[in-house]
Amino acid sequence: MKIKKLKSLFFTVGVVFISSVFLTNPVEAKAYYAGGDNNVTLHSWNVNNFNGTSQNLWARTTSSYLPKNIEGRTVAGDFNGDGKDEIAAFYDYSNAHTAIHLFMPDGSGNMTSKTAWDAPSFAASAIQYKVVAGDFDGDGKDEIATFYDYGNLKTALFLFKLDSNGQFSGSEVWQSPTFSGSCIVGVTAGDFNGDGKDEISLIYDYGNNHTGMFEFKQASSNKFTGRLAWESNSCDGSRVKNKVVSGDYDGNKKAEIVMFYDYGNAKTSAWTLINNNDTYSTKESWVAPSFDANAITGRVA
């Protein structure tokens, strides 16, 4: 995931996903919206001149495309290496039938979509809010990584790469028989150590105010390794669930991790995880006494 992207936060109601991407303009925000008129629309905003005016890039009706079927399973990245970002969405057809829909700029200011991967035995519900994109191998193109919850403490990491024919291929690159997918409360990706390749940060809720952050990096073409990179005995992981993001917020060419912590009674803090020589430390970087964290759950990017 390139530093050229502006890692911004957008909050809205009724949106299935929000992301900051690099498409035809320098930096744009994308949001999927299902209004009350039975239409589904992909909106775009120019973040460098954010004035609330949006452009409609793609539209369908809810009878042909259900937004809830991609909720928590949508990412953006430059998957084909053309310098512009695409959007990939895992669509749940039910009964463990899942497909990746790829949305691409068409050169005229709109987007086209196609099915770029299809599997009859891959449950979309097992990866919800566990999907990220990043350039994990440093080849200049982004890949998709998703943690798959098999249940009974078994969890796997799948990696998807786009080939020259515009189709994704997926492979299992990590697995654990003692890692509960239901304890994953946040997943984000970024170049946390500044080596030019992205890593995956996973926030794990052990319960009883015990929370850990696992860092995963690509070791070879078909293998990822993971380590417990940070833990706290005074952090309730459930209070940051689906409120974890990353980006190079201080401009030092390394990404930081931000967790929005819900203290209750509309008090929210942003805690930043910073990597210094592969050792992570935390600091409270923002606090608000009248900011309801529930309003941004699943809506930060």
pLDDT digits 0-9 by tens, 209-236 = 999 999 999 999 899 999 999 999 999 9
Residue 232 lies in a domain: yes
Residues 14-35 pLDDT 10s: 444 555 454 444 445 555 555 5
d(CA 237, CA 39): 36
Q: Is residue 2 part of a domain?
A: no
Beta strands in the chain (DSSP E): 15-21, 28-34, 39-46, 55-61, 74-77, 86-94, 97-105, 111-119, 131-134, 143-151, 154-162, 168-176, 184-190, 199-207, 210-220, 223-232, 244-247, 256-264, 267-276, 279-288
Cα gap 30→8, rounded to integer Å: 11
Q: List, in sequence order, the alpha helices (H) in 18-149.
A: none
Domain that includes residue 260, residue range: 15-296
- Report the distance separating Cα 45 and Cα 203, nearest Å: 30
Q: What angle do CA 290, 296, 300 make, to 5 degrees?
A: 130
> What's the pLDDT at 4?
43
So what's the pLDDT on residue 3? 44
The whole-angstrom separation of Cα 151 and Cα 182 is 8
Quick one: pLDDT at residue 52? 61
Beta bridge partners of 99: 91, 118
Q: How many domains does the chain have?
A: 1
Q: What is the pLDDT of residue 63?
A: 81
Nearest to 5 by CA among 34, 35, 31, 29: 29
Question: Tens of pLDDT along 42-101?
Answer: 877 776 665 666 778 888 888 888 889 999 999 999 999 999 999 999 999 999 999 999
Whole-angstrom Cα Rg for the chain = 18
Is position 9 within any domain? no
Question: What letter represents residue 219's amino acid?
Answer: A
Average pLDDT of the chain is: 89
Residue 161 binned pLDDT confidence (cut-offs 50, 70, 90): very high
Q: Is residue 77 part of a domain?
A: yes
Enter the pTM of the model. Answer: 0.89
Specify if 177 maps to a domain: yes
For residue 7, what is the DSSP state?
-
Q: At 63, which CATH number? A: 2.130.10.10
| Distance from C-alpha of 273 to C-alpha of 51, rounded to nearest angstrom | 31
Residue 10 domain-assigned (yes or no): no
d(CA 143, CA 162): 7
- H or E stretch at 35: none
- 95-121: per-residue pLDDT in tens? 999 999 999 988 877 889 999 999 999
**pLDDT (tens digit, 9 = 90+) per residue, 184-212?**
999 999 999 999 999 999 999 999 999 99
Q: Is 49 helix (H, G, I), strand (E, B) or coil?
A: helix
Nearest to 253, CA basis, from 27, 29, 2: 2
What backbone torsions phi and psi does residue 38 show, to the nearest 5 degrees? Answer: 70, 20
Q: What is the mean pLDDT of residues 123-145?
A: 98
